[in-house]
Structure 1
């Protein structure tokens, strides 16, 4: 709180914070504006049934702060940009040109950002087309539930797709504006704002359905979870690094000691997004096929629907929970192996005369860093998986909210992880800017 108070005392930093808050408010206003052609009154009447039956877009709806259920202009949300960013990062390992751009510094990063924007538009167009197509066939939020007006034609469906795509592009632009001119990471703050707006309604649902005792138990559990997430997210393995004496020009620089910080949760929340998206793909494909094939829609009592789809649409099923946990652990190792190369780290240390005490520079250093990182990943991936499956376990315990049927409860799991991580990152940035503004220098 002292950092926030000091931030508002600084004129430039105060303008950045107010600018950020203003854009977040605009985002939440847009999330309440329904897309033309949507029967908003009908959706409002059936909102409880819709949330219980929608398992495909639960993660998108959580990140959009409920905008998907209303089919608003921001229904697609920020997910296309997140997916595009992940794809571009993964392609840097496969495509040599992307890897070269990554090493070119600011100019290369600008080009990578341009590619990410183009891919975001394509993904937003594809996703909005899928949402509108399923809504037109009454397959989006439940079997046979109409969400569009009766007189919506082909032109109206095209307009809906264009509006939702434009909304996703507008959110991308707003997120980049917050990152450049505001405080914190814009995309993360928009996701956090969407999740935070769902907390009061979900808390009221828990209070009305479970009573004061269960509500108090959930609040205590959330506080314990927040403390645990802060403890793990701030946790680091600090590897000591020493730099030998070296000559640069005519000047000799003495021996210095520092450390290399390796986070316990190096992958962040990306593995959870990967695993959730992968689990929803079979459901989405099955719904599209059955909506196009009347015979397949009538013959839904087959092996695929009885075994695979029934498990994937039931987050309280223990098979679903185990598969979800294993996928998160797998993607944690996969994503970190793509993002963090211990051999590059070892080469950079060797280039500048750095070494780990007791470890020879070069390949032995790389093998040691990889060994330490794998040990940290075991703890970090299990922690990430347990946090993510917590809502599913709470469903089995009888804690129900309007979003808990999808495994996307805002009081646990991925939501708390995102809220706490973004809050910590934003506060760190505010504190650093406050220190920079108050630094007087040596001459004063």
Structure 2
């Protein structure tokens, strides 16, 4: 109920007009404006109270991570543990509000409104306060609801923008669009769940230890190796292939503008597989896993502890992430091929990756919610209710 209530309040804020803001009908409808509407829930077109949606909440953590790499003081805070994490959380919140303030000034200034007079200052303050309130709503979902607040609100605003585009597509193609979208949705959902739930179990044995008069360890277990799910490889590949859309004067790469071109699809598949493999390999450190096993007295049967264990785990992990990278490429191709059959690329240049992100978000949010509900169910005793 908390999650649903926050979503309703969020969509209400994206429909409530900000004061002293004149909304004009757009003279043209470029694809990049549609992408911005997707990221902000259509807020940049009408400038409601929640004009920027969860976009500042998405940008602030990534910008803070970049600043941590550049600033030794922030890096020291991250190394302090829980105390440093609380300080970084405060910095992230302040950075989110600052991004909302900067975005409000830039958007109103671009519309030709003076932000220094009384009306402009009120509009800037309202949009900035809306960003701060959206930040608080995401934290309420994370703390008291189900799932990650930013991801759930992002999914809500994306689903609010996509239906008009889907209806426009159905008007052009009829029942074909419904059949193709059903096949694409089912295929992506099945493959994503299989890859997300799948794991390679490496057997691990722990040495027996005597603590007091009791014996601990000695029981066999396993080390699960998974492929980390992410939408960033498909988004990055689509961004690289969308360069001709930004500079239409480039004639030699004109085939990249058509999402149905076979060469573009092939390059897109290779880039997604490559980026997915690099991201998964960089996010998992098998040397650290091997050191942790040595520290707690664990070992892989038949493999010597230390460097041989790290090499073996790295070999197995590379095979796992290689298969996962190919699956990511296949999943990224499914919506691209489906929308190419419907000829949706002239309207939406990144329609394939947009549909992919929406479906993967939906599946991941559903899986997270199901896990949390199952965990909550196990913590409660239902015997009185079953009698």
Alpha-carbon distance, 1:270 to partner = 3.4
Indicate the residue corresponding to 2:12 in structure 1. Answer: 29
Corresponding residue SS for 2:337: helix
Q: Which residue of 2 aligns with 1:197?
A: 160
| 8 Å Cα contact 1:62-1:195 kept in structure 2 | yes
- 1:345-401 CA deviation, whole Å, 9 max, x = no partner? 111111111112222222222222222332222232333344345444334322539
Pair 436,91 (structure 1): closer, same or farther in 2 beyond 3 Å: farther
What is the aligned-residue RMSD (CA, Å)? 3.7
> 2 CA distance for matches of 1:412 and 1:318?
19
What does residue 289 of structure 1 align with? none
Equivalents in 2 of 1:277, 1:123: separation in Å? 23
Kept in 2, the 8 Å contact 1:391–1:412? The answer is: yes
- CA distance in structure 1 between the partners assigned to 2:303 and 2:108 by the alignment: 58
* CA spacing shift, 1:174–1:252, aligned 2, 3 Å: same
Which of residues 198, 207, 212 in structure 1 aligns to 2:170? 207
1:147 equivalent in structure 2? none
Residue 226 of structure 1: CA displacement? Answer: 1.6
Q: Distance in 2 between matches of 1:134 and 1:308?
A: 33
> 1:240 Cα deviation (Å)?
1.8
Structure 1 residue 433 corresponds to structure 2 residue 376: yes
- Alignment pair present for 1:263 and 2:246: no
Give the match for residue 232 of structure 1.
195
Distance in 1 of aligned mates of 2:98 and 2:91: 11
| Matched position secondary structure for 1:170 | helix
Work out whether residues 17 and 49 of structure 2, in 8 Å CA contact, stay in contact via their aligned partners in 1: yes
Q: Aligned partners of 2:103, 2:226: CA distance in 1, in Å?
A: 34
Query: How many angstroms apart in 1 are the aligned matches of 2:258 and 2:143?
Result: 41
Cα displacement (A) at 1:414: 1.3
Specify which of 48, 55, 61 is matched with residue 32 of structure 2: 55
Contact map agreement 1:243 1:354 (CA 8 A) in 2 = yes
Give the aligned partner of residue 10 of structure 1: none
Does 2:57 align with 1:114? no
Measure the CA separation in 1 of the matches of 2:191 and 2:58: 26
Match 2:146 to one of 169, 178, 183: 183
Tell me which residue corresponds to 1:80.
56
**Any conservation in 2 of the 1:315–1:321 contact (CA below 8 Å)?**
yes
Q: Alpha-carbon deviation of 1:314?
A: 5.7
The answer on whether the counterparts of 2:242 and 2:349 sit within 8 Å (CA) in structure 1 is no
CA contact (8 A) 1:189 1:422 kept: yes
Distance 2:354 2:239 in 1: 20
User: Is the 2:64–2:92 Cα contact (8 Å) retained in structure 1?
Assistant: yes
- Report if aligned partners of 2:198, 2:226 keep a CA contact under 8 Å in 1: yes
- What are the ranges of 5 or more consecutive residues in structure 2 without an aligned counterpart? none
Of the candidates 364, 369, 379, which is equivalent to residue 421 of structure 1?
A: 364
Question: SS at 1:429's partner residue?
Answer: helix
Q: 1:272 to 1:166 in 2, by over 3 A?
A: farther
2-side partners of 1:133 and 1:281: how far apart? 27
Conserved? CA contact 1:388–1:414, under 8 Å: no
Deviation at 1:428, TM superposition (A): 0.7
Query: How has the CA–CA distance of structure 1 residues 167 and 211 changed in structure 2, closer, same or farther, with 3 Å as cutoff?
Result: same
Relative contact order: is structure 1 or structure 2 higher (C-alpha 8 Å, sep ≥ 6)? 1
Alignment of 1:376-387 (within 5 A): 376-387=320-331
- Distance in 2 (CA, whole Å) between partners of 1:355 and 1:85 is 37
Alignment TM-score, normalising by the size of structure 1: 0.72
Residue 371 (structure 1) aligned to one of 315, 325, 349: 315
Structure 1 partner of 2:132? 169
Residue 343, structure 1, aligned to residue 287, structure 2: yes
| Alpha-carbon offset, residue 84 of structure 1 | 2.9
Uncovered stretches (5+) of structure 1, i.e. residues with no partner: 1-17, 137-151, 287-303
SS of structure 1 residue aligned to 2:200: strand
- Taking structure 1 as reference, are residues 86 and 327 closer, same or farther at Cα in structure 2, changes over 3 Å only? farther
State the shift of 1:89 in Å: 4.6
From the superposition, tell whether residues 109 and 372 of structure 1 become closer, same or farther in structure 2 (CA, over 3 Å): farther
CA distance in 2, matches of 1:126, 1:320: 37
Give 1:10-29 correspondences, 5 Å limit: 18-29=1-12
- In structure 2, the CA distance between the partners of 1:31 and 1:244, relative to structure 1 (3 Å rule), is same
Shift of 1:415: 0.9
Partner of 1:405: 348
Judging changes above 3 Å, is the alpha-carbon distance between structure 1 residues 123 and 41 closer, same or farther for their aligned structure 2 residues? closer
Within 1, Cα distance between the matches of 2:122 and 2:65?
A: 32
Which region of structure 1 is more displaced relative to structure 2, 266-275 or 87-96? Answer: 87-96
Question: What does residue 244 of structure 1 align with?
Answer: 207
* Map of 1:140 onto structure 2: none
Contact 1:241 1:257 in 2 (8 A): yes
What is the DSSP-based 3-state SS (H/G/I as helix, E as strand, rest coil) of the residue aligned with 2:249? helix
